[in-house]
Structure 1
């Protein structure tokens, strides 16, 4: 899938749109559209058809309008993409959970995972230059609060949040791809596994790969598949938080 990039529009126009400071049309007929309505239509297209299908023309069709009409409200696709991202980040519940920093950071990871699973197209938008809108800022504030006051420097706090978000992005992308392969092949992981194992046992020189054979067989028997995305996510998140805990402990001992 084609990669899109946030923050690639005109900075002034994008920020005006994100913070709703962009002047609205004053000439011509009474405005028939709103920025919010355009964003909602763009999200419907992206959620159902993927981000590559999201174009100004496609969004206009979704609204029963002409593409040129949209430009009265939104400068272009790049700026629209920024507002789409900022809007969906606003769906994060930002739950207040009891417990220490680990419980809070765990919640940050799970909320981001839920959001990616709801809007898989987000996995194909690079956000190294994030849209600096109100919801992005609120998300960052919430995530930093999970590690505030635990002994990390500001740079380490930012890096920890980035590490968690990066882990979630990779883990969810693998999970989404695992689901998509089932849809495309019409075969569940269990069906795929059971179809291959007899032939592998008959053809492969498994004696040359004792570790692969033992571990792979154990995993296959455990999950009826060569991979389980939920288990992988839980295991990986646990180990990541263990690493942060070691850093926090080191800081406390200094």
Structure 2
């Protein structure tokens, strides 16, 4: 906003902030006790992946199929760039997909993984439901397989390319004794409430996908009942 004479007024934003600032009792106590008022956590790289030939495609209404398929970037994704990275850098062949961000940085513009020169980050694979079939079993393998240079490398066990990701999981012992369901419940417990985890367990029972339900229960019953003490205290109006 200009003054009447056309000269821009000088605005001291810092002074205005302190003049109008309200310091509550909570903030005062926090500062008196010397607790940190800000922090920086470890950066997390969200890692996407897809089945062979099933890259996500974004297009505008009215675009023709020919024009969409002609776009060069369709052949490049974060996941496919991992294969190229393993081909180019020996160090990448010693890492799983989730471990890759600890040593490499993804350039989203060029769609390539470059060696990390500074900083640190951890990777987290995109969540996938067990009902997703092949995509889910691909995710299971991505937590174990290091340095693949193609989709076939991911499902290769003892030098043999297996027909499916599920077969590769079984060959590696990753699906024995309902391990994938136990790991799924444990992973779910990191971000979901106990009630949600229980509902997921019930859905597994109803779908008949568990070969040994008691084994899954014994391995996860602590997570399934994590909120029972809180709920009982609340029901009995006993803060404990």
**TM score, norm. by length of structure 2:** 0.26
More strand by share: 2
More helix by share: 1
